[in-house]
Amino acid sequence: MSSFQLEDFAAGWIGGAASVIVGHPLDTVKTRLQAGVGYGNTFSCIRTMYKRESVFGFFKGMSFPLASIAVYNSVVFGVFSNTQRFLSQHRCGEPETSPRHSLSDLLLASMVAGMVSVGLGGPVDLIKIRLQMQTQPFREANLSVKSRAAALGEQPAYQGPVHCIATIVRTEGLAGLYRGASAMLLRDIPGYCLYFIPYVFLSEWITPEACAGPSPCAVWLAGGMAGAISWGTATPMDVVKSRLQADGVYLNKYKGVLDCISQSYQQEGLKVFFRGITVNAVRGFPMSAAMFLGYELSLQALRGDQAVTSP
């Protein structure tokens, strides 16, 4: 059997679509907490959003992630699975066997997936956050520079994903689509290490030795726990990434990662980097549980296996 398998990409697409549907409402809350103004805590943010925008406010910018993040997750899971399989088979020299997972193989495969994720997911994340943030109240008195919002008032800056992309390219160039990419790289490389590695070892630990592979319940639990761990620990850099990407809806306030960290710390203290950690961890569980369960069950169906198999 070849180490490269296309089924991993197809299963990742299905799992990605499931994770977006489950996780997007809380993702919007997370983004508003991290980059918005006028919110106290998670529950206050939810109440305020519902009052101002009704239930539809929680689904701002969902169409673009639903169409694109499924492809993004397809590539991330496909790259991780095939890289990990290649490393394991190269180490053991037995391509027909399924070698036991090695921490070093999982670590390297996770890092490769993290780097690939930024190249593909940076623009996707940027568009999602811009669409989520464009309905924020604009406080001209708090700004020291003139911006496009002076003319727009509180009207949405973008009419949809396509208009958002066109506006960013026109005003910021193609490089504008990768605004916050360095912060995303610092978030995703360790983030995916704390995503895939806990999942693999937790699913193996939960599964009895007599079983050929983890059950759907074990996949759901291990995937959810891995998501909570990964998103919880990634929160500080996720805050920086969200602020850099949201910065530009009406003005450009930050010059880069270090400037964003410096300004955020000076204005709001250390606690700002843990803003949204609760909703990140809470949302990480069902979103990642749906992602891994969709991935594993799809992979099982595509390969005609009798048991769920880990990446």
CA–CA gap between residue 200 and residue 284 (Å, rounded): 16
CA–CA gap between residue 306 and residue 299 (Å, rounded): 11
CA–CA gap between residue 303 and residue 56 (Å, rounded): 38
List C-alpha distances in Å: 162 to 92, 149, 227, 261, 293.
Answer: 47, 20, 30, 30, 31
The torsion defined by the Cα of 138, 270, 186 and 284, in degrees rounded to 10, comes to -80
Tens of pLDDT along 167-223? 989 988 888 899 989 999 999 999 999 999 999 999 989 888 767 778 889 999 999
Report pLDDT for 262.
95
CA–CA gap between residue 188 and residue 256 (Å, rounded): 17
User: Whole-model pTM?
Assistant: 0.77
Q: What is the mean pLDDT of residues 26-45?
A: 78
Tens of pLDDT along 221-278? 999 999 999 989 999 999 999 899 888 766 678 888 999 999 999 999 999 999 888 8
Report pLDDT for 17.
82
